Amino acid sequence: MAGPEFEVPSLTEYTEVPKIQEGAMAHLKSFLAAEASQSYLGYPYELPADWKERAIDRMGQILDRFRSVRVFLDACVHCGACTDKCHYFLGTADPNNMPVARQELMRKVYRRYFTLPGKIAPWLVGAEDLTEDKLNKWYNYYHQCSECRRCSVYCPYGIDTAEITMAGREILNYVGYGQKYSSEILMKVQKVGNNLGLPGPALADTLEGLEEDMEADTGLPIKMPLDVKGAEILLITPSADFFSEPHVESLIGYAKVFHAAGVSWTLSTYASEAGNFGLFNGNYETMRDVAMRIRDAALELGAKRIIVGECGHAWRVAYAYWNTLTGIGWGGEDPFSKQLQDQLDLRYPQPTHICEYTWDLIQRGVLKFDKSLNDDRVITFHDSCNVARASRMGDEPGGQFAIPRNIIRAVANNFRDMPEDTIGEATFCCGGGGGMLTDDLIEARVKGALPRMNAYNSVVRKDGVNFLALICAICKAQFTKVLPYYGFDRGMVGGVHQLVSTAIKLD
């Protein structure tokens, strides 16, 4: 591998707030999407002649449909509270990576076309015309945001830059500036059933191979069923779990948990993806179309419970949006919702996170562990942004922090948390979320990982930590790639259910 064409930041004891360096990341432009995927998604693939009208028009529609965008564009007072909160700013020093400045790219245009002072005195309020140059800036900087919501925790009005980034990307798509990575994934998931474009027969083959491996390891016939009608549990997991390392180790962990619990479960070919990149692009309809595959699979297979594997943004969509988008959940009184509710098991939250499921079994004494099998590991846990700040596990607020840690403590003896201001709701994104997990953005990914790497480094040095436990497919792929840039072994990365898999006692 050729060395990076950029300077990798050096690790420091604490992440320091850099002096701003204008234009430091202005050169970084994610690859543009081509005709095939853009047309499939109903977008143009190059700038149409009337692009400006289209963009302003779309912005107006978004303002009418999303209260978040309308309120957030009005409410900011430029207080500066968010300016040192974004990992991309901390890692790159580019002022446009400060959340407020990222929002300002759109706010300037909003003011110019939608507010009175911006129309009559643009210079006074910092309103600016939408130009092609500005559009390019949008493209660059709305693809240097992982939509992790850290800024929204610290904003006195709760302004969430993720909402602005999503709106920005939707407008960009609408004028033909789609991002290749996300655009192609959104086509693959709808055409094939998963983000990787892994067809059904290949998936069946992979699962069979894994079953053989598990049998060789344990001597037990642990299954990974596919498309089994009438199975109690439908497992929806990120497709990376099927063949990426270390993801697959967690998949094995889920299978062992289901085996130990003695339940019937199945994966689905048609819905072989938990991820939903529709979230990243802020298009409600696309997100709904992608999520609808899971409802359809659940109805087709007759599942009673829907459980979601380790994936951050997928859990956000599942937990917070599935009920809205597809009626997977409770409380809906309409026939559409009722149709599915009649089939689902009333005793459980729908959907359920795999960690909620496993923790419940642990509490009920169903699962037994030999914790010493994890004794070679000193483990820390990285709170994934979307799980931490956009979802929940269990009945209590903050269960998303407690439950994964409880599981780790139940299956291993050595656990250390990273510094307080880098975990929980203050967690730093891995740097690869929100549609940024692509090689053309590697510079932002590496630099954006700096705050997390500093925090990780501190427990590596202080406590001898050698295992970074994760519950997100994107985090796993991102850290596997980025850790070596900072001098760590990529083998330190793994899943929470990988730890479960190591320690679980089966018979």
Partner 1 sequence: MTSLTVFYIGLFYFATLAFVGGVAYRIYEYSRTPAPLVIPTTPAPTTRTGVALRMTREVVFFESLFKSNKWIWIFGWMFHIGLALVLLRHVRYFQEPVWFLVEFVQPYGKYASFAMLAGLAGLWARRFLVDRVRYISTPSDHLMLALLIAIGLSGAGMTFVAHTDIVALKAFALGLVTFDWHPLPADGLLLVHLSLVAVLMIIFPISKLLHAPGVFFSPTRNMVDNPREHRHLAPWAAALERDKA
Within 159-188, the residues that bind partner 1 by CB under 8 A are 159-160, 163
Distance CA 429, CA 152 (A): 13
Residue that has been written with the tokens 């062992």 in this structure: 256
The residue from 72, 139, 265, 428 that contacts partner 1 (CB under 8 A) is 72
24 binds partner 1 (CB under 8 A): no
User: What six digits make up the tokens of 63?
Assistant: 């303002």
What letter represents residue 271's amino acid? A
- Please report how close the Cβ of residue 114 comes to partner 1 at its closest, in angstroms: 11
> Tokens 């909160």 appear where?
85
Which region among 24-32, 70-78, 220-228, 407-415 touches partner 1 (by CB under 8 A)? 70-78
The residue range among 118-126, 227-235, 363-371, 411-419 that interacts with partner 1, by the rule CB under 8 A, is: 118-126
Q: What are the CA-CA distances from residue 461 to residues 153, 321, 359, 484 (Å)?
A: 29, 40, 30, 16
Q: Quick check: 406 binds partner 1 (CB under 8 A)?
A: no
CA 474 to chain CA centroid, nearest Å: 6
User: Under the criterion CB under 8 A, does residue 158 sit at the interface with partner 1?
Assistant: yes
> Closest separation between CB of residue 370 and partner 1, Å?
33
Choices 197-205, 212-220, 315-323, 458-466 (CB under 8 A): range interacting with partner 1: 315-323
How many residues lie near partner 1 (CB under 8 A)? Answer: 79
We find the least distance from the C-beta atom of residue 393 to partner 1, in angstroms, to be 10
**In the complex, what is the shortest distance from the CB of residue 302 to partner 1, in angstroms, rounded to a whole number?**
21
Question: CB-wise, 249 or 356, nearer to partner 1?
Answer: 356
Cα 374 versus chain centre, distance: 27
Scan residues 275-314 and list those touching partner 1 (CB under 8 A).
Answer: 284-285, 288
By CB under 8 A, residue 157 contacts partner 1? yes
Interface residue with partner 1 among 1, 2, 49, 116 (CB under 8 A) is 116
67 binds partner 1 (CB under 8 A): yes
Positions in 336-375 near partner 1 (CB under 8 A):
336-337, 349-351
Residues 212-271 interacting with partner 1 (rule: CB under 8 A): none
Does 71 contact partner 1 by CB under 8 A? Answer: yes
Report angle CA 471, 477, 480 to the nearest 5 degrees: 105
Q: Restricting to residues 35-64, which ones interact with partner 1 according to CB under 8 A?
A: 63-64
SS3 state of residue 147: coil
Strand order in the sheet with 379-381: 379-381, 467-470, 493-495
113 binds partner 1 per the rule CB under 8 A? no
Coil, helix or strand for 310?
coil
Binding-site member from 149, 247, 377, 447 for partner 1 (CB under 8 A) = 149
Report 324-343 residues binding partner 1 (CB under 8 A).
324, 327, 329-334, 336-337
| Nearer Cβ to partner 1 (63/373) | 63
CB closer to partner 1, 143 vs 392: 392
> Are 175 and 47 within 8 A, CB to CB?
yes
CB of 81 to partner 1, least distance (A): 4
Select from 461, 448, 504, 422 the least CA-distant residue to 153. Answer: 422
Single out the residue of 16, 39, 65, 505 in contact with partner 1 (rule: CB under 8 A): 65
Using CB under 8 A as the binding rule, whether residue 129 contacts partner 1 is answered as: no
Closest CB to partner 1 among residues 105, 231: 105
Q: Quick one: 176 or 312, whose CB is closer to partner 1?
A: 312
- Provide, rounded to whole angstroms, the least separation between the CB of residue 274 and partner 1: 16
Return the number of other C-beta atoms located less than 10 Å from residue 270's C-beta.
Answer: 16
Give the C-alpha separation, 443 to 6, whole Å. 7
Contact status, residue 54 vs residue 175, Cβ threshold 8 Å: yes
Which two three-digit tokens encode residue 180?
A: 């290749």
Q: Closest CB to partner 1 among 237 and 326?
A: 326
Nearer to partner 1, 14 or 461 (CB): 14
DSSP state at residue 453 = H
176 or 309: whose CB is closer to partner 1?
Answer: 309
> Which 419-478 positions form the footprint of partner 1 (CB under 8 A)?
425
**Least distance (Å) between residue 117 CB and partner 1:** 5
Rg of the chain (C-alpha set): 23
Question: Rounded to the nearest 5°, which phi and psi values hold at 412?
Answer: -145, 155
Q: Please, which residues have CB within 8 angstroms of residue 7's CB and are 6 or more apart in sequence?
A: none
Nearest CA to 63 out of 8, 106, 123 is that of: 106
Geometric angle at alpha carbon 171, from 56 and 283, rounded to 5°: 130
Per DSSP, the residues of 5-48 read SSPPPPP-SSPPPPPP-TTTTTT--PPBP-HHHHHHTT--SS--
